[in-house]
Amino acid sequence: MLKLQQVLGVMRKMRSEIELSEPQFGELTDLFGISSLVVDNLGVISSINDSAAEMLGFKVAELLGTMLMRLVVDGGSALSNLLSQSSGVFEPFDLVLHGRSGRKSAVFVVPVPIDHGDGATRSILLVLTEKAKRQASSHTLQHSELELQHFANRLIVAHEVELKRVSSELHDGIGQVLAMIKFMVEDASRRLKQGKVQEGGHILDETVQRLRDAMDDVRRLSSELRPSTLDDLGLIPTIEGHCRKYEDAYDNIKLERHLNVEEAEIPAHLKSEIFRIVQEAMNNAAKHACASTVAVSMLSDHGNLILGIRDNGIGFDAKQFAGGPVNQQGIGLRSMRERAESTGGFFAIKSAPGSGTTVEVRWKLHSVVMRGGTNGMQSN
């Protein structure tokens, strides 16, 4: 109803400030795709637009001068009350009209009094909405709201999964190392107090190495969450650096990269999400796909930013990922999809047993969405 109310408000203002003829009223509502007609205080149709005439199966000229009541099958009392203006209140109401072929159209009617300048209402604009279309629009809106709610729920689940992963890393990794360091410092302190300086010094030397390991774990975890090089150097150098580390860690995998895009072409708020998708897809290829070749590509093509990660691993049934329940989808795959879709991207995954896997994400650069925000961002 918001659009309709806005249109009617504009129409009232225009009608009061400039002299619009009744046919011009019809042209205006036709422009907005709205069925409308104008009746005088006797219910005679003095103007009707093409949309309303077509809905009833007539031509405009055939309905001019016709009593609207002759077309009413049901709801005539509400129309009579409106025309009598006994209450002076113009409330919406339902009508059932019949057309040329006998087809009945159930419509929702919004009456708008036309002020002729002297304060008297001698004609009324009736805006008609077919109830079937109205119900279909309502159903579409409800479906969209449901989809939005499901999408929001998936984002929350993905966020919770990420938090659990970080929590596990802290507890099982850094937490355990810090607990060991605490024990070693206490042991060294006890030995030093006992005069066992050499033993205490040796334990402290080992403690320093453990602290270095803990610092490395913190840096690694921080880099996984958001590499500092994204801000300092940009996305392309960050991906290149990750690829070099990947080659060092997995010397049995041949890594190909084709990053044919300029840094300036990549919207700043997409960079972190793109890196995490690349990171996840490459890790999946190494840990789960048993791949020997991985290819990473990114290019700008006709206003689209296209990211692709392809491997020649064992593959899996992609249909199960697309249509299966949430608990049957890999956490990593689900995370990649949420990151893509939450920023306005289109996520696709192609795979089959024995045929490798291809992950592709496309963003339209003029309509990408800031994750967690409400506004789109224009990118040239």
Distance CA 155, CA 266 (A): 23
361 in a structural domain: yes
The CA distance from 263 to 260, in Å, is: 10
Q: How confident is the model at residue 314, as a pLDDT?
A: 92
Q: Which pLDDT belongs to residue 15?
A: 45
Who wins on pLDDT, 20 or 88? 88
In this prediction, residue 154 carries a pLDDT of 67
Q: Indicate whether 42 pLDDT > 60.
A: yes
Maximum pairwise Cα distance, the chain: 115
Residues 116 and 251 grouped into a single domain? no
**Distance set, CA 281 to CA 6, 75, 251, 347 (Å):** 47, 62, 17, 13
- In this model, does residue 313 exceed pLDDT 60? yes
The H or E element spanning position 28 is helix 22-31
Q: Give the span between the Cα atoms of 206 and 220, in whole angstroms.
A: 21
In a domain, residue 339? The reply is yes
Contact (Cβ atoms closer than 8 angstroms) between residue 218 and residue 228: no
Question: For the segment 84-133, what is each residue's pLDDT rounded down to a tens digit?
Answer: 875 567 888 989 998 888 888 888 888 888 766 565 657 888 888 887 66
Task: Report the distance separating Cα 285 and Cα 350, nearest Å.
Answer: 13
> How confident is residue 307, by pLDDT bands cut at 50, 70 and 90?
very high
- Using the 3D structure, point to which of 132, 159, 191 is the last residue of a domain: 132
So what's the pLDDT on residue 144?
A: 67
234 and 125 inside one domain? no
Higher pLDDT, 134 or 306: 306
Lowest mean pLDDT among 69-73, 171-175, 243-247, 362-366: 171-175
User: End of a domain among 132, 150, 167?
Assistant: 132
Q: Which residue has the higher pLDDT, 272 or 15?
A: 272
**pLDDT confidence of residue 134:** 56
Lowest mean pLDDT among 33-42, 43-52, 342-351: 33-42
Q: Residue 87: what pLDDT? A: 53
- Which of 132, 149, 183 lies at the terminal end of a domain, its last residue? 132
Q: pLDDT tens across 156-190, in order?
A: 666 666 677 677 667 666 777 787 888 889 888 98
User: What is the reported pLDDT for 369?
Assistant: 46
Range of the domain at 111: 2-132
* pLDDT of residue 14 exceeding 60: no
pLDDT of 17 above 80: no
Confidence of residue 298 (pLDDT cuts 50, 70, 90): very high
Q: What CATH number should be reported for the domain holding residue 301?
A: 3.30.565.10
CATH number at residue 91: 3.30.450.20
Does 235 fall in a domain?
A: yes
**Co-location of 120 and 248 in the same domain:** no
Has residue 203 been placed in a domain?
A: no
Q: What is the pLDDT of residues 219-231, one digit of tens each?
A: 777 666 677 788 8
* Long-range own/partner contacts, residues 324-329 (CB < 8 A, 24 or more apart): 326/154, 326/157
* Number of domains, the chain: 2
Look at 16-25, 81-90, 97-106, 140-149 and tell me which has the smallest mean pLDDT.
Answer: 16-25
Average pLDDT value over all residues in the chain: 78
| 125 part of a folded domain | yes
56, part of any domain: yes
In the predicted model, what is the mean pLDDT of residues 338-354?
89
pLDDT band at 10 (very low <50, low <70, confident <90, very high): very low
CA distance to 73, 165, 174, 213, 221, per residue, from 180 (Å): 86, 22, 10, 12, 19
- Write down the pLDDT at residue 33: 59
Q: Are 47 and 23 contacting, i.e. CB atoms less than 8 angstroms apart?
A: yes
Task: State the pLDDT confidence band at 330, using cuts at 50, 70 and 90.
Answer: low
Does the pLDDT value for residue 274 go beyond 90?
yes
Write down the pLDDT at residue 281: 92
Q: Could you tell me if residue 19 is inside a domain?
A: yes
Q: What is the share, in percent, of the chain residues with pLDDT greater than 70?
A: 71
Is the confidence at residue 82, as pLDDT, over 90? no
Return the pLDDT at 2.
Answer: 40
Instruction: Indicate if 237 and 380 belong to the same structural domain.
Output: yes
Q: What is the DSSP string of 322-372?
A: HHS-GGGS-HHHHHHHHHHHHTT-EEEEEE-TTS-EEEEEEEETTSEE-TT
- Give a yes or no: residue 163 inside a domain: no
Select, from the ranges 19-23, 85-89, 138-142, 161-165, the one with the highest average predicted confidence (pLDDT).
161-165
